Amino acid sequence: MTPPQKSPTIVLIPGLMNDAWVWHGVIGALSRLGAVHIARTDGCDSLSAMAERIAQSVGGPMVVIGHSMGGRVALELADQAGDRIMGLALLDTGAGGPHAQEAEGRLKLVDLARAEGMASVAKSWMPPMLAPDRRDDAELVEGITAMLLRADADIFAAQQNALLKRPNRLDLLATIQCPLLAVTGSEDRWSPPAQHQEMVDRTPNARLEVVEGAGHMLPVEAPEKLAEILISFIKTL
């Protein structure tokens, strides 16, 4: 008798300064499909180290879902353990290397964190990350701010360093054999739909979903719609 195939673990990888809270609106629905593992990215100063820790922490097949920086970690995981990944979902992210002016902006925020604390970082960083009509949503802003305050300047600096050292993974996309789903908000100015379309165009088995009205913080701006999209994707695997 053939032993039953182990169902894949659904791995959720949060973004810069983010933790498990960013997934609170989707984790319940996803847990109906299988075991859910929320990856930790604290304590690592490279994306490859973050991916290696996930590969060691989760056994067997995986469906990997990464948001923002977490999407870049997901690509590193695909490079390290692609034979274990049944499906890959990249949310509000990119695959290219750092651009020429990127370091200045990131390091300025690190300096702000060390000088004034994470509350000042949250106040400066958050508005462009949200769709314009969500920036005055007090409950949403308070939730994201509380999450960012659970990080500290050292965690923030290490993650920013990891992003500044990131490799260009655009060529890796052509080697990904599992289905890939790219999802972004129509109002995401940091990782716009065109950037996701480029990733889809480079990947053999990929498609794009754009969530109307959502910004970069898609998992908490439109959790119900995102859960619907992810569930549909996972069920096709």
pLDDT at 222 over 80: yes
- pLDDT of residue 126 exceeding 90, the answer is yes
Percent of the chain, pLDDT > 90? 95
Indicate the domain borders of the chain.
9-99+160-235
* Residue 1: pLDDT over 70: no
Query: Does the pLDDT of residue 4 top 70, yes or no?
Result: no
Average pLDDT, the chain: 96
For residue range 176-196, list pLDDT tens digits in order. Answer: 999 999 999 999 999 999 999
The 85-91 sheet, strands edge to edge: 36-38, 9-13, 62-67, 85-91, 180-185, 206-211
Select 9-99+160-235's CATH number: 3.40.50.1820, 3.20.130.10, 3.55.10.10, 3.40.50.2300. Answer: 3.40.50.1820
Task: Indicate the pTM of the whole model.
Answer: 0.96
pLDDT at 5: 59
Q: For position 100, what pLDDT does the model report?
A: 87
Question: How far from 68 is each of 2, 3, 77, 94, 102, CA to CA, in Å?
Answer: 39, 37, 15, 8, 15
